[in-house]
Structure 1
């Protein structure tokens, strides 16, 4: 009886905890507070959003979190240059004295910066470096998709082809990450956050 009671209590607290989270990536929770802070920050402080607005933005945010997860798996967060950059930013933030390390917004700002740098670093390795070193791959992409460029020559649409090739690599990478890592969305919490 005691074991059943303990299991029930554990499940109850797990459900309550998940209810306060909008999603998780590879077991790491994304709190509703964090998600709404990022949403408002990137939407000029607008706090009202429909379910569809939030769901679309959450999808983008999950892609971001998947890249950060991959960067951590590759130990990019243990890199000396990364740590130095993060420490420098944190010292500059503390020097401004606009927000205190005890403030929740401070934690969100630092987390956003840490993860932003990780996302930049992993994207550099996985996508951007491939584009810089792949003239032949870009031309091959053009040849496979020549109809999309209205018969214009490669030289005429090189910039667009490069951007499309980058997006293609990005889409494939995200698809791979979504297969590799578990993503869970708390639809009920997302609906609670939506303001119709």
Structure 2
């Protein structure tokens, strides 16, 4: 009987904690509060969204979180320059007294900044640096997709080729991350958050 009670308590706790989250990425929760704070911030304060709009945005946010995981797996969060930048930003916030360190919004702002810098740094490593000064790879990509560029030469289409190659690298990177890390979406919680 005691074992059954423990299992029930665990299941109840797990369900209730998951119910407050829109997703988990590699076992780490994305709370509904965090997700809606980010959504609102990036949609001019508007939180009136359909379930589909929230689901689409959540997919992008999950991809962001996966990139941050990849950055941490590459120890980019231990980099001295990264730590110095984060400390500088946190000190600037305190000086401006924008938010109190005891305020929930402060936590969201700091987390967003930390993760944003990590995402930028890993993107530089995984995508942008692979495109710059790599004419051979760009030319190969152009040749494999020449029909897309409507008869333009490589040099005429170079800007488009760079953009398309970066998008290709991004898609492949996300596929690899989604294969490597577990992702669970709580569609019931998204339904609760949807306003339309």
TM-score (norm 1): 0.98
Q: Does 1:101 align with 2:91?
A: no
Measure how far apart 1:186 and its partner are: 0.2
Aligned mates of 2:78, 2:161 — CA distance in 1: 35
Q: Are residue 110 (structure 1) and residue 74 (structure 2) matched?
A: no
Bigger mean CA deviation after superposition, 57-66 or 125-134: 125-134
Partners of 2:114 and 2:102 in 1: how far apart? Answer: 18
Find the aligned partners of 1:156 and 1:134 in 2 and give their Cα distance: 17
Q: Distance in 1 between matches of 2:74 and 2:185?
A: 25
- Name the structure 2 match of 1:120: 120
Question: How many pairs were matched up?
Answer: 196
Gaps of 5+ in 2: none
Deviation at 1:134, TM superposition (A): 1.5
Cα RMSD, aligned residues only: 0.7
Determine if the alignment matches structure 1 residue 76 to structure 2 residue 83: no
CA deviation profile, 1:127-151 (whole Å, cap 9, x unmatched): 1111113111001101110110111
Q: Secondary structure at the match of 2:23?
A: strand
Show structure 1 runs of 4+ deviating over 6 A. none
Unaligned regions of 5+ residues in structure 1, if any?
none
What residue is the counterpart of 2:187 in the other structure?
A: 187
Deviation readout 1:16-60 (Å, 9 max, x if unpaired)? 000000001000000000000000100111010001110110010
